[in-house]
Amino acid sequence: MRTKAEWQAMAASLVIESRAFIAGEYVTSQNSQTFTDINPATGEVLAQVVACHEADVAHAVQVAKQQFEAGCWSALPARERKRILLAWAALLREHAEELALLETLDTGKPIGHAQAIDINNTVYCVQWFAEAIDKISGDVPDIAANLHAVISREPMGVVAAIVPWNFPLMMASWKFAPALAAGNSVILKPSEKSPLTAIRVAGLAKQAGIPDGVFQVLPGDGSVGAMLAQHMDVDCVTFTGSTAVGRKIAQASASSNLKRIWLELGGKSANIVMADADLQAAAEGVAAGVFFNQGEMCSAGSRVLVQRAVYPQFIDLLEHAAKAWQPADPLEQNTLMGAIIDRSQFDKVMGYIAVGREEAELIFGGEAVSGTAGWFIQPTLFVSSPDTKIAREEIFGPVCTVILFDDEAQALQIANDSIYGLGAGIWTQNIGTAYRMSRKLRAGSVWINCYEESGDQNLPFGGYKQSGNGRDKSLHALDKYMEIKTTLLKI
């Protein structure tokens, strides 16, 4: 555990790399443009980051394709790719403090969480897919005496990974680790709001032995993502971000080369508290489920469905639990909630709070934290009917909407009445209730008596409905980056 003063001293001596990483080198953009990257907890400028341009995208895709076709990575035996990816994971581990600090400075998230969640899980993810890749083999089905068939998996080619700002490196690793393990060339497009860790790990990838042009990083705004999504030589786009941009990526694929697209999108997840739940545990779990990472979480349990019979008791416990999530300096090791990513997201969240004051009942919170140069918002709790704007739309901030229900059927009806289907929680001491309800919830993950994504790489993560398609993590993720080939021989 480091003190705030130690983290500040480390921050003061950090040399921040802010260039793109193309063809194995850190480079400026061919049109020399940059954008300003700000620390949302202080408002201070962190770096002028290279803003990639059409020519940079074209160059990166060309190199990625060349390298794929040359086979310097794609044709390596799986055990070789494993060795190099494990070396990269070791370097990431060695630089874990620096990466966590960069993530905190860039996003405003608490340093303790950046270490324990973001960077730890990134290292684990790279390690997990490295270790998995040489355990996978094809199939030889028994089809007929005079035929011999082999079903094999091959890398797809050039994979563009376009990622958001809420867990910048971890979300990226959920994509680049399986895509690289599978033998693809990867181009990573980090969010313009949090590009620094992606840029930093590219140099470590080279140091670990990943060949030039096999892992490249193109910082820039959405136009860079759009160019990649439209490019005829990009074979797959794997995306995490908003449903609105996911739709644009699907359209770009349709109007270009029908590249494979994998979309991890928004959510408005229901966390259901039944009257027979352990209410203390539920209150703590519900608060963490919506306020962790400042509520900037696709899977945030931001609709809290509470059985009417226990409402007065539960709301007191929830209020108490939520008050522990007060925003504070992200560089304090024990801080639970940090700053909102930037001014525009801050305005968006405060806008929803203003709407909530009109259409629902504010229980507590609802204010920005004054006296700071950063973007901090108090944990905020509303009670609402299920059909308000704050109960239906993704806010992506520390705002929790409590909705009352009378029985199980009504809880399920409200929970499933959403365009999204990412996560859902159930709190009950009756295992029958838990299983019956979990089967009826239209969501990619159902958490029973907990509400957490759980860092374990064995667990697939992704959504139903407009929360996306495909799954990150687990062996299912590898399938997204490999084509299946059938080879048939007549004997």
Helix (H) or strand (E) holding 233: none
Short-list 163, 477, 414, CA closest to 298: 163
Burial of 224 (0-12, 13-18, 19+ CB in 10 A): buried
- Which residue in 468, 469, 471, 481 binds ligand NAD (CB under 6 A)? 468
> Can residue 396 be called a binding residue for ligand NAD (CB under 6 A)?
yes
* Region for 220 from its dihedrals, namely left if φ exceeds 0, alpha if ψ lies in -120 to 50, beta otherwise: left
The answer to whether residue 361 is catalytic is: no
Please give the size of the binding site for ligand NAD, defined by CB under 6 A.
31
Active-site residue, from 264, 296, 394, 453: 264
Q: Which amino acid is at 332?
A: E
**240 vs 247: CA distance, rounded Å:** 12
> Can residue 463 be called a binding residue for ligand NAD (CB under 6 A)?
yes
Q: Which stretch binds ligand NAD (CB under 6 A): 7-15, 101-109, 221-229, 368-376?
A: 221-229
> Can residue 188 be called a binding residue for ligand NAD (CB under 6 A)?
no
Helix, strand, coil % over all residues of the chain, rounded to 5:
40, 20, 35
Q: Which amino acid is at 34?
A: T
> Can residue 455 be called a binding residue for ligand NAD (CB under 6 A)?
no
Shortest CB 133 distance to ligand NAD, Å: 22
Shortest CB 491 distance to ligand NAD, Å: 47
Residue nearest to ligand NAD (CB): 225
Shortest CB 380 distance to ligand NAD, Å: 18
Shortest CB 480 distance to ligand NAD, Å: 13
Residues 140-179 that bind ligand NAD (CB under 6 A): 162-166, 171
Q: Which stretch binds ligand NAD (CB under 6 A): 18-26, 128-136, 196-204, 244-252?
A: 244-252
- Which residue in 267, 366, 423, 425 binds ligand NAD (CB under 6 A)? 267
**272 vs 175: CA distance, rounded Å:** 31
Q: Which is nearer to ligand NAD, 162 or 412 (CB)?
A: 162
**94 vs 207: CA distance, rounded Å:** 13
Eight-state DSSP code of residue 119: I
Structure tokens at 200: 């930093």
Active-site residue, from 52, 125, 298, 400: 298
Sign of CA dihedral 374, 104, 129, 187: positive
The answer to whether residue 298 is catalytic is: yes
- Which residue in 225, 295, 423, 425 binds ligand NAD (CB under 6 A)? 225
Q: To which residue do tokens 């690793």 refer? A: 173
- Which residue in 211, 222, 455, 460 binds ligand NAD (CB under 6 A)? 222
**382 vs 359: CA distance, rounded Å:** 10
For helices 431-440 and 408-416, the axis angle rounded to 10 degrees is: 30
Q: Which residues are annotated as catalytic?
A: 264, 298
Binding site for ligand NAD (CB under 6 A): 162-166, 171, 189, 191-192, 221-222, 225-226, 229, 240-242, 245, 248-249, 264-267, 298, 394, 396, 422, 463, 467-468
